[in-house]
Amino acid sequence: MTIHLESTINGRSVGINVDPTLTLLEVLRENLFLIGTKEGCGVGECGTCVVLLDGTPVTSCLVLAGDADGRDVETVEGLAPDGELNEVQQAFVKSGAFQCGFCTPAMVLSATALLRRNSSPNEEEMKQALGGILCRCGAYPKILEAIIAATGEGA
């Protein structure tokens, strides 16, 4: 048995038949080949699979694919559709806000969502926005530096 999903993914209308037991993470990676979204723990604890669902960061390993029907999904690939990095991605590169890079897509998406809601967040709001994403390398200071830079207030 399959279900049919109609969603907007990275600005494009997508229709796909999928197994109803699949998660959004699985469909993105395995069916749509959007591999920027990473699977860490598979149980919603690490946050590396964050995508934006209707503009809100969600752990895609906990969202059934069917729950994305009729909704807008944005992955890290959608932030640079023509190869031009967005301001958050540029700030991450300039600040060296990554080491292994495994958490970077989730961090960039969460920071992008934050800055879309609030163009001048304070440090506590930044930490809150990133709170559910674990960085195995401990690059948090550089990640915060990058978000500050993306606001236009940093170095």
- Per-residue pLDDT of 118-151, as tens digits, reads 999 999 999 999 999 999 999 999 999 999 999 9
**Residue 64: which CATH number?**
3.10.20.30
- Higher-confidence residue of 81 and 35: namely 35
E strand spans, the chain: 3-9, 12-18, 50-53, 56-59, 72-74
Sort strands 72-74 and 3-9 into parallel, antiparallel or unpaired.
parallel
Domain end, chosen from 48, 79, 110, is at 79
Do residue 73 and residue 138 come from a single domain? no
Does the pLDDT value for residue 62 go beyond 60?
A: yes
- Model confidence band, residue 54 (pLDDT cutoffs 50, 70, 90): very high
Do residue 62 and residue 97 come from a single domain? no
Alpha-carbon span 135 to 127, nearest angstrom: 13
Does the pLDDT value for residue 7 go beyond 60?
A: yes
What the block records as the tokens of 97 is 């806000």
Report yes or no on 105 lying in a domain.
Answer: yes
Alpha-carbon span 21 to 31, nearest angstrom: 14
Nearest-Å Rg of the Cα atoms of the chain is 15
Global pTM reads 0.94
108: nearest Cα among 131, 92, 121: 92
Q: How many CB atoms lie within 10 A of CB 144?
A: 18
Report yes or no on 155 lying in a domain.
Answer: no
Do residue 64 and residue 97 come from a single domain? no
Does the pLDDT value for residue 155 go beyond 70?
A: no
Do residue 69 and residue 92 come from a single domain? no
Does the pLDDT value for residue 82 go beyond 90?
A: no
Residue numbers of the domain that contains 129: 87-150
Domain end, chosen from 50, 79, 108, is at 79
Does the pLDDT value for residue 154 go beyond 70?
A: no
Do residue 43 and residue 60 come from a single domain? yes
pLDDT, average across residues 16-40: 97
Domain end, chosen from 53, 79, 105, is at 79
Counts of helices then strands in the chain (DSSP H, E): 5, 5
